[in-house]
Protein backbone atom coordinates (compact mmCIF):
# COMPACT_ATOMS: atom_id res chain seq x y z
CA UNK A 1 0.00 0.00 0.00
CA UNK A 2 1.23 3.48 -0.82
CA UNK A 3 0.28 6.58 1.18
CA UNK A 4 0.77 10.06 -0.21
CA UNK A 5 1.35 12.75 2.40
CA UNK A 6 0.55 16.16 1.00
CA UNK A 7 1.98 18.32 3.76
CA UNK A 8 5.27 16.75 4.80
CA UNK A 9 7.01 20.11 4.55
CA UNK A 10 4.64 21.61 7.11
CA UNK A 11 4.99 18.61 9.41
CA UNK A 12 8.73 19.03 9.42
CA UNK A 13 8.56 22.25 11.40
CA UNK A 14 7.19 20.38 14.40
CA UNK A 15 10.36 18.31 14.54
CA UNK A 16 12.59 21.34 15.06
CA UNK A 17 14.85 21.73 18.06
CA UNK A 18 13.29 22.87 21.34
CA UNK A 19 12.39 26.55 21.46
CA UNK A 20 13.94 28.36 24.43
CA UNK A 21 13.08 31.95 25.31
CA UNK A 22 12.78 34.19 28.40
CA UNK A 23 9.47 34.68 30.13
CA UNK A 24 8.59 38.33 29.51
CA UNK A 25 5.91 38.83 32.12
CA UNK A 26 3.66 36.66 34.21
CA UNK A 27 0.96 36.30 36.80
CA UNK A 28 0.21 33.10 38.70
CA UNK A 29 -1.49 31.27 35.83
CA UNK A 30 -0.28 32.86 32.58
CA UNK A 31 2.53 34.81 30.98
CA UNK A 32 3.94 35.90 27.64
CA UNK A 33 6.95 35.02 25.50
CA UNK A 34 8.33 36.02 22.11
CA UNK A 35 9.48 33.34 19.65
CA UNK A 36 8.91 32.17 16.10
CA UNK A 37 7.62 28.81 14.87
CA UNK A 38 5.12 28.46 17.67
CA UNK A 39 1.64 27.00 17.36
CA UNK A 40 -1.26 27.26 19.77
CA UNK A 41 -1.35 24.08 21.85
CA UNK A 42 2.39 23.45 21.96
CA UNK A 43 3.54 22.37 25.41
CA UNK A 44 6.72 22.72 27.41
CA UNK A 45 7.97 23.85 30.81
CA UNK A 46 9.51 26.73 32.73
CA UNK A 47 13.03 26.55 34.19
CA UNK A 48 14.39 28.60 37.11
CA UNK A 49 18.16 29.14 36.97
CA UNK A 50 19.37 29.72 40.53
CA UNK A 51 23.02 30.19 39.52
CA UNK A 52 25.40 29.03 36.80
CA UNK A 53 25.30 25.42 38.00
CA UNK A 54 21.85 24.95 39.52
CA UNK A 55 18.43 25.01 37.88
CA UNK A 56 15.06 23.30 38.19
CA UNK A 57 11.86 22.89 36.20
CA UNK A 58 9.20 24.72 38.18
CA UNK A 59 6.03 24.66 36.03
CA UNK A 60 4.35 23.40 32.88
CA UNK A 61 3.74 25.79 29.99
CA UNK A 62 1.26 25.64 27.10
CA UNK A 63 0.90 28.13 24.24
CA UNK A 64 -2.68 29.45 24.49
CA UNK A 65 -2.71 32.38 22.05
CA UNK A 66 -0.41 33.67 19.35
CA UNK A 67 0.10 36.95 17.50
CA UNK A 68 1.77 35.92 14.23
CA UNK A 69 2.59 39.53 13.34
CA UNK A 70 4.73 40.10 16.43
CA UNK A 71 5.61 36.45 17.28
CA UNK A 72 4.38 37.17 20.79
CA UNK A 73 2.53 34.35 22.51
CA UNK A 74 0.50 33.90 25.65
CA UNK A 75 1.19 30.80 27.70
CA UNK A 76 -0.83 29.02 30.35
CA UNK A 77 1.17 28.08 33.44
CA UNK A 78 0.31 25.05 35.57
CA UNK A 79 2.05 22.81 38.13
CA UNK A 80 4.78 20.63 36.68
CA UNK A 81 3.80 16.95 36.56
CA UNK A 82 6.66 15.47 34.53
CA UNK A 83 8.35 13.96 37.59
CA UNK A 84 6.59 12.60 40.64
CA UNK A 85 8.40 11.49 43.77
CA UNK A 86 6.33 11.70 46.93
CA UNK A 87 9.35 10.92 49.09
CA UNK A 88 11.14 14.11 48.09
CA UNK A 89 10.19 17.71 48.94
CA UNK A 90 8.68 19.87 46.22
CA UNK A 91 9.74 23.41 45.49
CA UNK A 92 7.13 26.11 45.91
CA UNK A 93 8.48 28.46 43.28
CA UNK A 94 6.26 30.70 41.18
CA UNK A 95 7.17 31.60 37.62
CA UNK A 96 8.53 35.11 37.19
CA UNK A 97 9.95 37.31 34.44
CA UNK A 98 13.26 36.12 32.94
CA UNK A 99 12.68 32.48 33.85
CA UNK A 100 13.45 30.26 30.85
CA UNK A 101 10.50 28.89 28.87
CA UNK A 102 11.23 25.73 26.86
CA UNK A 103 8.62 24.69 24.28
CA UNK A 104 8.56 21.48 22.19
CA UNK A 105 11.38 19.94 24.22
CA UNK A 106 10.51 16.34 23.30
CA UNK A 107 8.85 16.76 19.93
CA UNK A 108 11.49 14.50 18.37
CA UNK A 109 9.74 11.53 20.04
CA UNK A 110 6.32 10.54 18.73
CA UNK A 111 3.56 7.96 19.04
CA UNK A 112 1.52 7.01 15.96
CA UNK A 113 -2.02 5.65 16.29
CA UNK A 114 -2.59 3.89 12.97
CA UNK A 115 -5.48 1.81 11.65
CA UNK A 116 -3.27 -1.01 10.33
CA UNK A 117 0.31 -2.15 9.83
CA UNK A 118 0.63 -0.76 6.29
CA UNK A 119 -0.33 2.74 7.41
CA UNK A 120 2.06 2.53 10.35
CA UNK A 121 5.02 1.31 8.32
CA UNK A 122 4.52 3.85 5.54
CA UNK A 123 4.21 6.90 7.78
CA UNK A 124 7.05 6.06 10.12
CA UNK A 125 9.36 5.58 7.14
CA UNK A 126 8.15 8.81 5.52
CA UNK A 127 8.92 11.24 8.35
CA UNK A 128 12.65 11.40 9.17
CA UNK A 129 14.38 12.48 12.37
CA UNK A 130 11.64 11.15 14.64
CA UNK A 131 12.16 8.56 17.36
CA UNK A 132 8.99 6.49 17.09
CA UNK A 133 7.68 4.86 20.24
CA UNK A 134 6.05 1.65 19.08
CA UNK A 135 2.33 1.27 19.80
CA UNK A 136 3.04 -2.12 21.40
CA UNK A 137 4.50 -0.19 24.33
CA UNK A 138 1.35 1.89 24.62
CA UNK A 139 -0.84 -1.22 24.35
CA UNK A 140 1.10 -2.72 27.27
CA UNK A 141 0.45 0.42 29.30
CA UNK A 142 -3.28 0.32 28.46
CA UNK A 143 -3.45 -3.33 29.49
CA UNK A 144 -1.95 -2.39 32.86
CA UNK A 145 -4.60 0.31 33.23
CA UNK A 146 -7.38 -2.00 32.03
CA UNK A 147 -8.33 0.37 29.20
CA UNK A 148 -8.88 -1.33 25.83
CA UNK A 149 -10.35 2.02 24.81
CA UNK A 150 -7.58 4.61 25.29
CA UNK A 151 -8.64 7.75 27.14
CA UNK A 152 -7.17 11.21 26.60
CA UNK A 153 -5.88 10.95 30.18
CA UNK A 154 -4.05 7.75 29.18
CA UNK A 155 -2.26 9.58 26.36
CA UNK A 156 -1.29 12.37 28.76
CA UNK A 157 0.10 10.03 31.42
CA UNK A 158 1.91 7.74 28.99
CA UNK A 159 3.48 10.55 26.99
CA UNK A 160 4.49 12.49 30.11
CA UNK A 161 6.12 9.43 31.67
CA UNK A 162 7.93 8.53 28.44
CA UNK A 163 8.91 12.02 27.25
CA UNK A 164 6.83 11.80 24.07
CA UNK A 165 5.90 15.15 22.56
CA UNK A 166 3.86 14.42 19.44
CA UNK A 167 0.87 12.19 18.78
CA UNK A 168 -0.09 11.27 15.22
CA UNK A 169 -3.54 9.81 14.55
CA UNK A 170 -4.64 8.72 11.09
CA UNK A 171 -8.38 8.74 10.48
CA UNK A 172 -10.78 9.68 7.68
CA UNK A 173 -7.98 10.11 5.12
CA UNK A 174 -6.39 12.70 7.41
CA UNK A 175 -3.25 12.67 9.50
CA UNK A 176 -3.86 14.63 12.70
CA UNK A 177 -0.81 15.90 14.58
CA UNK A 178 -1.47 16.64 18.23
CA UNK A 179 0.52 17.54 21.29
CA UNK A 180 0.62 14.18 23.04
CA UNK A 181 0.40 15.65 26.53
CA UNK A 182 -2.64 17.89 26.10
CA UNK A 183 -4.31 16.54 22.92
CA UNK A 184 -4.23 19.98 21.29
CA UNK A 185 -4.38 19.83 17.49
CA UNK A 186 -1.27 21.32 15.90
CA UNK A 187 -1.88 20.58 12.23
CA UNK A 188 -3.51 18.23 9.72
CA UNK A 189 -2.40 16.68 6.45
CA UNK A 190 -4.41 14.91 3.78
CA UNK A 191 -3.52 11.30 3.05
CA UNK A 192 -4.76 8.93 0.38
CA UNK A 193 -4.68 5.26 1.19
CA UNK A 194 -5.76 1.99 -0.25
CA UNK A 195 -8.58 0.82 1.96
CA UNK A 196 -7.69 -1.92 4.39
CA UNK A 197 -9.45 -3.20 7.48
CA UNK A 198 -8.74 -1.19 10.62
CA UNK A 199 -7.61 -2.79 13.86
CA UNK A 200 -9.11 -1.68 17.17
CA UNK A 201 -8.21 0.20 19.25
CA UNK A 202 -5.21 0.76 16.89
CA UNK A 203 -2.49 -1.17 15.09
CA UNK A 204 -0.48 -3.19 17.60
CA UNK A 205 1.11 -6.60 17.71
CA UNK A 206 -0.10 -7.12 21.27
CA UNK A 207 -2.55 -10.05 21.26
CA UNK A 208 -5.05 -8.38 23.60
CA UNK A 209 -5.48 -5.43 25.95
CA UNK A 210 -6.82 -6.36 29.36
CA UNK A 211 -10.13 -4.73 30.36
CA UNK A 212 -11.36 -3.58 33.76
CA UNK A 213 -14.74 -4.80 34.90
CA UNK A 214 -16.24 -1.31 34.66
CA UNK A 215 -15.39 2.37 34.37
CA UNK A 216 -14.20 4.73 31.67
CA UNK A 217 -12.04 3.01 29.07
CA UNK A 218 -13.11 -0.51 30.07
CA UNK A 219 -15.31 -1.17 27.03
CA UNK A 220 -13.84 -2.33 23.74
CA UNK A 221 -13.99 -0.21 20.61
CA UNK A 222 -16.34 -1.50 17.94
CA UNK A 223 -14.99 0.82 15.24
CA UNK A 224 -11.64 2.57 14.91
CA UNK A 225 -12.44 5.77 13.02
CA UNK A 226 -15.47 7.35 14.80
CA UNK A 227 -13.87 7.23 18.25
CA UNK A 228 -10.72 9.15 17.42
CA UNK A 229 -12.56 11.70 15.28
CA UNK A 230 -14.88 12.43 18.19
CA UNK A 231 -12.10 12.67 20.78
CA UNK A 232 -10.11 15.06 18.60
CA UNK A 233 -13.21 17.24 18.15
CA UNK A 234 -14.14 17.21 21.84
CA UNK A 235 -10.66 18.28 22.90
CA UNK A 236 -10.37 20.98 20.21
CA UNK A 237 -13.93 22.24 20.28
CA UNK A 238 -13.01 25.89 19.62
CA UNK A 239 -10.74 25.14 16.66
CA UNK A 240 -12.52 26.68 13.68
CA UNK A 241 -10.14 25.20 11.10
CA UNK A 242 -10.85 21.72 12.44
CA UNK A 243 -14.56 22.46 12.38
CA UNK A 244 -14.37 23.48 8.72
CA UNK A 245 -12.37 20.35 7.92
CA UNK A 246 -15.01 18.13 9.52
CA UNK A 247 -17.81 20.01 7.80
CA UNK A 248 -16.11 19.52 4.43
CA UNK A 249 -15.48 15.82 5.01
CA UNK A 250 -18.82 14.93 6.52
CA UNK A 251 -22.39 16.12 6.16
CA UNK A 252 -23.33 19.34 7.90
CA UNK A 253 -25.81 17.18 9.79
CA UNK A 254 -23.03 14.96 11.13
CA UNK A 255 -23.17 14.41 14.88
CA UNK A 256 -19.43 15.11 14.98
CA UNK A 257 -20.10 18.81 14.39
CA UNK A 258 -22.10 18.93 17.63
CA UNK A 259 -18.83 18.60 19.54
CA UNK A 260 -17.66 22.06 18.44
CA UNK A 261 -18.24 25.44 20.03
CA UNK A 262 -17.50 27.80 17.13
CA UNK A 263 -19.39 30.60 15.46
CA UNK A 264 -20.16 30.32 11.76
Select from 5, 33, 9, 29 the least CA-distant residue to 20. 33
- Band (pLDDT 50/70/90 cuts) for residue 9 is very low
Is the predicted pLDDT of residue 1 greater than 70, yes or no?
A: no
pLDDT tier for residue 89 given thresholds of 50, 70 and 90: low
How do beta strands 4-5 and 30-34 pair? unpaired
pTM score, two decimals? Answer: 0.91
Q: Does the pLDDT of residue 17 top 70, yes or no?
A: yes
Instruction: Find the mean pLDDT for residues 218-246.
Output: 95
Q: Work out the widest C-alpha separation in the chain, in whole angstroms.
A: 59
Predicted local distance difference test score (pLDDT) of residue 88: 61
pLDDT at residue 4, as a whole number = 45
Distance CA 98, CA 14 (A): 25
Q: How many CB atoms lie within 10 A of CB 83?
A: 10
Question: What separation in angstroms does the CA of 93 have from each of 23, 25, 64, 90, 147?
Answer: 15, 15, 22, 9, 36
Mean pLDDT over 133-153 rounds to 97
As a whole-number percent, the residues of the chain with pLDDT over 90 amount to 78
Distance CA 234, CA 256 (A): 9
d(CA 167, CA 152): 11
Average pLDDT value for residue range 198-216: 94
pLDDT of the residue at 10:
44
Mean pLDDT of 34-55: 93
236 near 185, Cβ under 8 Å? yes
**pLDDT for the residue numbered 99:** 95
The full set of domain ranges for the chain reads: 20-84+94-103, 107-235
Domain 20-84+94-103 belongs to what topology? Answer: Thrombin, subunit H (2.40.10)
DSSP tally for the chain: helices H, then strands E? 6, 13
Mean of pLDDT values over 235-250: 95
Question: Where residue 14 falls among pLDDT bands split at 50, 70, 90?
Answer: low
pLDDT over 70 at 84, yes or no: no
Instruction: To the nearest 10°, report the CA torsion of 82, 105, 109, 37.
Output: 140
User: Which SS3 state, helix, strand or coil, does residue 154 take?
Assistant: helix
| Residue 139: predicted pLDDT | 98
Amino acid sequence: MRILFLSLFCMGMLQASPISTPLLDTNEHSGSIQASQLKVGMSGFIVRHFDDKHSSIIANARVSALNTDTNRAQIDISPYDGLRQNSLPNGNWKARANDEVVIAYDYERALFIAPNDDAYDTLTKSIPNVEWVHPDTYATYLSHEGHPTPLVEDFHKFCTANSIGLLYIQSADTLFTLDCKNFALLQTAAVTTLKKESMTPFYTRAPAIRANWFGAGSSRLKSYEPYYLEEIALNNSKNKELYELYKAKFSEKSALLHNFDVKE
